[in-house]
Amino acid sequence: MPDSTPRITFGPAPITIESVVALAERRAGSRLDDDADWRQRIDRGATAVERLLDQEGRIYGITTGYGDSCVTAVPLAQVEALPRQLYTFHGCGLGRFLDAEDARAVLAARLQSLCQGDSGVRLALLERLQACLAVDLLPRIPEEGSVGASGDLTPLSYVAAMLCGERDVIWRGAVRPAAEALAELGWTPLTLRPKEPLALMNGTAVMTALACRAFVRADYLLRLATRITALNVSALRGNPAHFDARLFAAKPHPGQMQVAAWLRTDLATAAASQQRLQDRYSLRCAPHVLGVLADSLGWLRSFIETELNSANDNPLIDPDSGEVMHGGHFYGGHIAFAMDSLKTLVANVADLLDRQLALLVDTRYNHGLPANLSGAPAERSMINHGFKAVQIGASAWSAEALKGTLPASVFSRSTECHNQDKVSMGTIAARDAIRVLELTEQVAAATLLAALQGVHLRGDPLSAPLAAMVATLREEFAPVIEDRALDGELRLCLERMRTRSWDLYPD
C-alpha cells in the first residue's frame, strides 16, 4: 500500500462506518494509536487477568467452562489449554465464505472493540490484528453459524484460529493454510492467553462489519435511485411540480425534503407536464418512498457506530480496579434491528424502481415511447422486444427482495442447553440485508439502463446534471436499437454501482 494512503488509527478514539469500509476496500491503511496512556490501559487490563489467575479467582471462561458449562470449574493446570479448546470446538461454520472485503471489515470491527481497553487482552494481540490488516492476511470465515449471542462465536473462531496458525486464510489472493502464510511472513503463531479467545470470539464483529458495508451501499443506492427517478420523470414527461419546495415545507421530513430538492435540481429545465395533472405514485411519491430511507440513515448510523466503538465481549475487565464484570454485551440486538429495518427500507426502493420500469415499457402509460423501449426502426419493430425481458427480470428481483424482508430478530431460538435462551439473530439479519441490497441493486441497474434508453428515445433536452450522467453512461452503454443480450451490460452497471463510480449529489 503506498505511503500516501490515508491510515485509520485504532485506539481509544471512535472510528466511523466509512473508516471500516475504506479499510475493507483497501482505500486506507491502519495503525495503532501511540498514545502512552491508552497503551498502559491495555497493559493494565491484561495484567489484571494474570493477577486474578495468580489469586485463583473464579472467572467465567477462564477458570470455568463456557456457556452453560460455567458451573464446571477448570483447574489451573488446564487453564492454559482452554483457549485452544474454545476456537477449536467452534470450528463448525458452513455456507459461503465471506469475501476479502468483508473479512477485512471483520478484523477492523474486532480490533476497534478490543481497543476500548475493557477486554483484558495484551497489546501484542492488538498489534497482530493490525498487522494482519497491514499485510492483508485475512481469515477465511464461513458466513453461517452465528445466532448473534453470545456474539459471533463460530465465525469469529476463524479469526482466533488464524492468529494461532490454524485453518485456512486468504493470502496473496489465494486460499492457503494459515501456518504456511505465517511462516512466509516470518511470524510466530500466537499462543492466546486465557481471556483472549473469549475477547476475540464473544462479540458482534461479524454482524457489525456487514452492517457497515450495508450502510454505505444503502446510502449510495438512495442517491442513485433519486437520479434514476429524475431520468424516468424526464423520459415519461412527468410533472416536475410534484417536487415543489413549498409542498415539502408542508410535510417537512428532512430526508424527504432532501430527495425532493435533488429532484428539483435534476429537473430544473423540465416543463410542467400538460399530459397529466398528477403522475402515478411511483413518480409523484418518489420523495416519500426514498425519504424514509434518507431519514433513517441517521439512527442507523448511530446504532452501528455505537456498536462498532464498544466493548462487546464477556466478561469485561476493569483495567484499573481489576474487577470482573459479567454481562451480556455480546447481544447484537441493535445491529439486528438496524439490519431488519434496512431490509425493509431497501426493498421499498426495489419496488419503487420496478414500478417505474413497468411504466416505461408499457405504451398505455409511457406517453408515446415505443413498446418495451425498443429502438428498432419500423420495418423491424415487429421482431424486436427491447427491454421486455429486462422488466421481467426486475420484477423477479423485486419479488425476491420483498420476500427477504421477513425480520430475522424475531426468530430467536433457545440454544446451548437453554443458556443462550434469547438470542439476537443479528448476523442473519445483516446477511439478509446484504442479499436484499444485492437484489435491489439489480433492479436499479435494470431501471437505470431502461431510463437511459427512455431519455434517448424521447430526445428532450436535459438539465446539466442529467446530461452529464447520460454522457458518462453512454461511454459504456449504447442505445438498444436491435435486440441484444444485456446481461453483460447489467453486470458492468452493477460493478460501477458497487464501486460507487458515479458522482451523484454533493453532501
Query: What's the mean per-residue pLDDT of the chain?
Result: 94
- Domains of the chain in start order, with CATH, are 7-203 (1.10.275.10), 214-498 (1.20.200.10)
Residues 6+ apart with CB under 8 A from 78: none
CA angle 429/432/437 to nearest 5° reads: 125
CA dist 14 to 9, 131, 209, Å? 9, 20, 15
pLDDT computed for residue 433 by the predictor: 98
Residues 6+ apart with CB under 8 A from 496: 476, 502
Q: Is 220 a catalytic residue?
A: no
In terms of pTM, does the model score above 0.85? yes
Place of cell 425519504: 291
CA dist 55 to 49, 340, 390, Å? 10, 45, 69
Nearest to 147 by CA among 504, 507, 416, 469: 416
pLDDT tens track for 158-204: 999 999 999 999 999 999 999 999 999 999 999 999 889 999 999 99
pLDDT tens track for 18-35: 999 999 999 999 999 999
Q: Of residues 60, 66, 87, 158, which has the active-site annotation?
A: 60
pLDDT tens track for 357-404: 999 999 999 999 999 999 999 999 999 999 999 999 999 999 999 999
pLDDT tens track for 442-487: 999 999 999 999 999 999 999 999 999 999 999 999 999 999 999 9
User: In this structure, what are the phi and psi dihedrals at residue 210, rounded to the nearest 5 degrees?
Assistant: -65, -40
- With 80 as the cut, is the pLDDT of residue 58 above it? no
Sheet of strand 174-177, all strands in order from the earlier edge strand to the far edge: 138-139, 168-171, 174-177
pLDDT computed for residue 83 by the predictor: 83
Alpha carbon distance 141, 204 (integer Å)? 14
